[in-house]
Structure formats: structure tokens, C-alpha cells
Amino acid sequence: MEENKKFVIWGRNPIIEAIKAGKSLEKILVAHDSHIPKELIKLAEKNKIKVQKVPRRKVEELAGTKKTQGVVALLSPITYWKENDLMNKVLSEKGFIVILDHITDPQNVGNIIRTSEVLGAAGVIIPRERSSPINETVVKASAGAVFHIPVAKVGSLKGFLDRFQKKNGWVVSIEKGGKPIHKIDFPFPLAVVLGSEGKGVSKSVLETSDLVASIPMKGKITSLNVSSAGAIALWEIAKQNWID
């Protein structure tokens, strides 16, 4: 808990001032039995910060105190990029960008960010909803890579990918039932979609994809953890991008 406190602020006015000061907040948690000021709600909406109702016990556990005024905010350890800036970066570099399709395990998110940074990805895109926040676990799992690679949050993955394609970008989803990844000549700039732990790539994103790439498997266990699958796929793609 002590280590996580540097990523937590509580109390209505401190959170309002943090937003006004331009601090990156992952989300705001409000106790079920509490009401927050309209000013705070408006600021959260304007800055696209998620507000979530939770039991008061959860708020107090995160803050480490009962003097929370029923509200706590999770500070992000990073400053997020604007999605259009990150899109323009990968387009200009003719590189690849990694899309995390509602991956909720922070360990997986951190591992994938680490692999993405090591292999030269232009950045990482995560959705605002149903995704792990960038927290202490993510920072540790990424071995600090999260501080060296651009990360952006988007409201709609499909919307982002549609705009990317209209600017001559390509989209590949890493999913079962596709073409063997080592037999694909990848086009760039490229968005690489990695699906969630349980459901894989979202149906809407899969339908948007230009390519579906699969990792051939010979063992009796026919699935991989998403961070392991991501590492294999990103290495195959990075090799081609480097050679080009």
C-alpha cells in the first residue's frame, strides 16, 4: 500500500486542483454513499477521466485513511500522448503501433509495453474502458519501459483504427484462424492488435482488420498467454520493419 500511495490522491478539492493542473488521472473512484461536486464531474467529463462508483471501503483502502470525503483518484505515472499525435508519429515513421484490445491484467500490459519498447514500436494504444490502468504493477512489469514509449488512451479502438486506415495505415490482428505469421509480408505503417485474455480480439476490431495473423503451434496446449503471443508476433513484425 505504501508504494501505491504516490499514485493516489483523495479529497474533493485536491482532485479538482490536480485535474486543473493538468495531472494525468487514470480514474476517479467515488463511494456509493457519497456525492461529488458538479465541478468535479464536469472536469472529469471534459478531460475524459472515468468516474466509477465503488464501496466506501475500497476508497478508504486505496487512500489509507477514512478522511477521503468519499472520493479517491488514481494518478497515472505517465503523461499520455494525444491519439492523433501518436497516429501521426507511426504514419511518418512508417513503423508499427501496438493496440491493446481490452487487456485487463496489469502484468500482461506491462510485459507487452516492455516488448513494444524493446522492439522499436512507435507507441501503444489502450482503450479508456475495460482496460488495466497504468499503475505500479504495470510500471514494474514493463521494467520502466512505460516511461520511454508513447502511450495514448482512446475512447474507441475501432474509431482509431478506421482513421488510421483512411490515412493509408494497415491493421493486423493476432488471432487464431488467420494466416501463419511467418508467411505474411507485412505492410507498413501497421497497427498490431493484441486481444484480451479471455475473449481475444473484439469482433468489431477483427472485422476492421486488413490481416489476421496466427502463431503456428505444435504442442498439445494450443494457446499462449497474450504477452507471450505478443512478444512472438511483435518480433516477427519488427524484423520486417527493420529490414525495410
Residues 16 and 91 in one domain: no
Digit-coded pLDDT (tens) for 38-91 = 899 899 988 888 888 999 999 989 888 888 898 999 888 888 999 999 999 999
Whether residues 63 and 135 share a domain: the answer is: no
Measured torsion, CA atoms of residues 166, 169, 170, 175, in degrees rounded to the nearest 10: -100
25, 58, 75 - which closes a domain: 75
The pLDDT of residue 3 is 43
User: Which one, of 20, 74, 64, lies nearest residue 42 by Cα?
Assistant: 20
Identify the domain boundary among 75, 100, 132. Answer: 75
pLDDT digits (tens, 9 = 90+) for 147-163: 999 999 999 999 999 99
The CATH code of the domain that includes 7 is 3.30.1330.30
- State whether 96 and 23 are in the same domain: no
Number of folded domains that form the chain: 2
Whose CA is closest to 118, among 78, 92, 145, 95?
Answer: 145
pLDDT of residue 105: 93
Task: Note whether 61 and 153 are same-domain residues.
Answer: no
- Using the 3D structure, point to which of 51, 75, 99 is the last residue of a domain: 75
Q: Which domain holds residue 68?
A: 3-75
